[in-house]
Amino acid sequence: MSAQQFTISQRFFFDAAHTLRREIDAEGSRRIHGHTYHAEVAVRGSLDAATGMVIDLGLLREHLQAVRERLDHHLLDDVPGLGIPTLENLCLFIAHALADMRPPPTQVRIWRDALGDACTLELGA
């Protein structure tokens, strides 16, 4: 029988501005505008026998806070390594920023409650 696998997740939010070149809502999107973004990062793994945890949530929060500081109250167009500030690229940016974490993220989700938009990135099983 294989070891039980648990998924642990933590959420954070950040406020940021951006511009975007789009075909629809083009004029408003090209102007600098902002959103409150919500993010959730999940990790999957088995229990560590010594700690009884997949990951210490305090450690996960520290990693997420470091990512949050790179995004919160910034113009996303200017964030190094982000690229075009889409929901998809925000998911990738967060996943790449946390790639060295153990266990690594298995899912990154970004959403904007005010607009009902969301994007989920599923990472290696």
pLDDT tier for residue 1 given thresholds of 50, 70 and 90: very low
- Burial annotation 17-27 (CB, 10 A radius, 16+ → b, else e): bbbbeeeeeee
Locate 21 and state its tokens.
């070149």
For 74-117, what is the HEC assignment?
CEHHHCCCCCCCCHHHHHHHHHHHCCCCCCCEEEEEEEECCCCE
Question: Which position has the token pair 């298995």?
Answer: 106
Residue 14's CB: how many other CB atoms inside 10 A? 20
Residue 52 tokens, joined: 């009884």
φ/ψ region of 98 (left if φ > 0, alpha if ψ in -120 to 50, else beta) reads alpha
Task: Give tens-digit pLDDT for 55-90.
Answer: 999 999 999 999 999 999 999 999 999 999 999 999
Q: Residues 92-115: pLDDT tens digits?
A: 999 999 999 999 999 999 999 988
Query: What's the CATH number for 6-122?
Result: 3.30.479.10
Please state the domain extents for the chain. Answer: 6-122
Cα–Cα distance, 64 to 98 (Å, whole number): 8
Convert the pLDDT of each residue in 6-51 to its tens digit.
Answer: 999 999 999 999 998 767 665 666 778 899 999 999 999 999 999 9
What is the helix, strand, coil percentage profile of the chain, to 5? 25, 35, 40
